[in-house]
Amino acid sequence: MSFTTQRPRARHALLAATALAGFVALPTLAMAQDSTVEEIIVTATKRDATILDVPFSINAQTQQDIQRSGAVTLEDLSRNVASLTIQNLGPGQSQVSVRGVSAGQVVRDQPGVKEQVGVYLDESVISLSLFTPDIDLFDLNRVETLRGPQGTLFGSGSVGGTIRYITNQPKIGVTEGVIEANGNMVDGDDTGGYVKGAINLPVSDKVAVRAVGYYTKYAGFIDARTEGGGRKKNVNDGSRAGGRLAVLFQPTENISITPRVVYQEIRANGFNRQEAFNLFANPNTITRAPVRLGEREQHLLLDESFADDTLLTDLTASIGLGAVELTSVTSYVDRKIHLDRDASSLTGSVSVDLGFPSAAVLLPSKLVDTTDLQQFTQELRLGSTGDGPFQWVFGGFYSEVDRVYDQRLPTPGYDAFTDATLGAGTSAAVANGFPLNSPYNASLPYNIKQKALFGEASYKLDKLTVTAGGRFYDFEETRQFKSGGLFANGDNQVDKTSSDGFTPRVLVAYEASDTVTFNAQAAQGFRLGGVNDPLNLPLCTPQDAAIFGGFQSYDDETLWNYEAGVKSRFGGISFNSAVFYTDIKNLQTTLDAGSCSSRVVFNVPKAHTKGIEAELSARLAPGFDIGISGSLLEAEFDSTVKDGTGAVLGGIREGNRLPSVPKFQISADATYSWTVRSGMEAYVSASVQHIGSRYTQASDQENNPRSFVSGLPFGGATGTVPGRAWATRSASRARWA
């Protein structure tokens, strides 16, 4: 959003290996002793189909896959899914990208940025840029990854792809339950673990209930040094707790009604942040004790925290009407997110620039971000049933999102120092009714309405199936921006954004045999644009105000994805692969606005991604399974963005890599399972994953801030000594994530 601080940024790679052993009930490992592999049924086209029959690239991780991999988060699962990458910013704060379509890290104070990957819990949309709920993977039937733009059936947030958590539904006439527990240790230090349970109960021959509950403790791995030389261990530990309750009413064979309540809360006591430099831990200082922060360390004056409470209620109903089926999905989401961050170094760096005394620089300062969101969605669709050559689905979608984002910077005692320096009353944060001793404040209420009509139809002629579809969309966004405090402008303005259009896609599938299918796709994706927050002009240099003041709004992002692939299945062996090219127009990219302690979103005219992905699974012998998946990817800017002086802005140079995207990733796993006794199976699994290097932001590729000087003469440091510091005065307070 508008007031930001520094986080470490990295070009890093991951190599991980895991081993897992356990016992599970026999039904969840059905056919474990057979030489064939069970077909996976998915609903990526809004109707049941096998992966072989879906005419685009898709991955489905089943409940068995999740259990055997030991995955507890989507990040864990992503390492076994080609072209799916997760940037982990802590529980409930991860960012998802598919096939390299990424504008880089979206930070917590950018509430207007829209997501690039849509996320659904069954039929209900739950995605929210950066704050997409980190749903527990327990008692899921599968997790589907739909690669490439999925706007035809899943809307604006699916410009890069769609992730779908598919839960186990209530079953009539079945009594079953499961309990799962785990203990773990991170880096030989902090401990974590979880306990989870699910039960399915028949109420009558027409009603069933399924209840799920879980609690997870996250082990920490980041240490914090405190002022005075103290140390706090594992400050980023936390927990996740929640549950689901679903009831299935099936009065007749053709009617089903499923109301559901989902609740989850996440707590974290800190953030996954490693600092290279902190104003109060300056390796180049003279009068203050020099401090060099080590691996997985940060410096804090105040404790940090994150809380996310999510309530989802939905109602899914379907009625069979002979050759067609009518489906209604109604959902309501209520979320409350609260973050406390130590902004002492940020506020202190501004105080240095403004010439305030050292006593003001040393004041503890907390940046408080809150989000209060309510979202209502309604989808109504009609689709064909049966196995005829002509299949179709047509529907309408409506959603309304009300979201209030607030930011405060409480710094007790700050006004006294600013009054003494600038004159009485100048620092009082009275503009627009904000409190004293809080040099930055902002409130941003959002209202976003979306209306859409969508449809898709396919016709099969012998071995060839052609599918065509599209989505008519209409968006309206109204946003108020109100700010106050010494660091802000005292703005109070209302902006509106609207967009409408049509996104098409065409798919072709050819059945070369009963076990081999070739497919091709051309599809368009769309992401809504928006309006940037005003710059914090009291903090801007004239040059930065001139450079970044022109980025008042940003346009819709669009892309075309072209792909060709093959899907095959031979007994116990399946192999799926695809090659793709994505042509991106007006890529929405984040840029630090220099000295203004702000960020702006702007459009890069052209960018592209292209690559190849492949997934192989095989049952080499009864009970012995292996899997290999990987992707090779090129994701680059095709345009250069310069300021008025001709300097390249933010690393946006033609040929530079898109951020957050590894060029290469691969994983391999092996599992052996056997029957212990009737009704129980044991298994041993091992896996290894490699994720190649990637940049957090585009600007990390050139003129990296940490390679220069801080420009902050404080605590005896001149601010001109090269070292592990921030870049320049203008960048010293520009980033938080």
Using H for helix, E for strand and C for coil, what is the string for 625-679? EEEEEEEEEEEEECCCCECCCCCECCCCCCCCECCCCCCEEEEEEEEEEEEEECC
Q: Which strand (E) or helix (H) includes residue 425?
A: none
Residue pair 540/550 in contact by the 8 Å Cβ criterion: no
Domain ranges for the chain = 11-731
Q: Which CATH class is domain 11-731?
A: mainly beta
Let me know: does 32 contact 676? Beta carbons within 8 Å: no
DSSP 37-98: -PPPEE-TTSS-EEGGGSSS-EEEEEHHHHHHHT--SHHHHHTTSTTEEEE--STT--EEEE
* Whole-number Å distance between alpha carbons of 610 and 337: 36
Residue 199: per-residue pLDDT: 97
Q: How far apart are CA 667 and CA 689, in angstroms?
A: 4
Phi/psi for 601 (5° steps) reads -105, 130
Contacts of 504 (CB under 8 A, 6+ apart): 152, 468, 469, 470, 523, 524
Rounded Cα distance, 8 and 15, in Å: 20
Task: Answer for the pair 126, 170: CB distance below 8 angstroms, yes or no.
Answer: no
Intra-chain end-to-end CA distance of the chain, in Å: 10
Nearest residue to 140 (alpha-carbon basis) of 208, 202, 66: 66
- The residues near 423 (Cβ < 8 Å, ≥ 6 apart) are none
Q: In this structure, are residues 25 and 677 in contact, taking their beta carbons and an 8 Å threshold?
A: no
- For 435-439, which contacts have Cβ atoms below 8 Å and span 24 or more sequence positions? 435/408, 435/410, 437/410, 437/411, 437/412, 437/413, 438/408, 438/409, 438/410, 438/411, 438/414, 438/485, 439/347, 439/350, 439/409, 439/411, 439/414, 439/485, 439/486, 439/487
Nearest to 293 by CA among 723, 734, 674, 735: 723
Dist. CA 463–CA 504, nearest whole Å: 24
Predicted confidence at residue 9, as pLDDT, reads 40
Q: What is the C-alpha to C-alpha distance for residues 432 and 423, in angstroms, rounded to an integer?
A: 21
Contact between 59 and 40 (Cβ < 8 Å):
no
Coil vs helix vs strand at 551: coil
Q: What is the pLDDT of residue 589?
A: 86
Beta carbons of 639 and 606 less than 8 angstroms apart: yes
3-class secondary structure, 138: coil
Record the tokens describing residue 708, joined without a space.
């220069």
Which residue is associated with the tokens 């290279």? 276
**Residue 601 and residue 710 in contact, taking contact as beta carbons nearer than 8 Å:** no
pLDDT, residue 428, reads: 44
Which residues lie below 8 Å from residue 225, measured CB to CB, with a gap of 6+? Answer: 231, 281, 291, 293, 297, 298, 299, 300
Alpha carbons 122 and 215: distance in angstroms, whole number: 21
Please say whether the beta carbons of 331 and 376 come within 8 A: yes
β partners of residue 369: 339, 407
Is the separation of the CB atoms in 50 and 43 below 8 Å? no
Sign of the alpha-carbon torsion through 48, 52, 53, 57: positive
Q: What per-residue confidence (pLDDT) applies to 540?
A: 84
Spans of the chain, pLDDT less than 70: 1-38, 89-93, 104-111, 130, 156, 188, 419-431, 703-710, 721-737
Q: What is the pLDDT of residue 425?
A: 47
- The residue behind tokens 């607030």 is 406
From CA 382, how far away is CA 150, in angstroms rounded?
19
Joined tokens for residue 244: 């689901």
Contacts of 719 (CB under 8 A, 6+ apart): 709, 710, 711, 712, 713, 729
Structure tokens that stand for 308 in this block? 């996310």
634: Cα separation from own chain's centroid: 21
Nearest to 728 by CA among 345, 440, 354, 353: 353
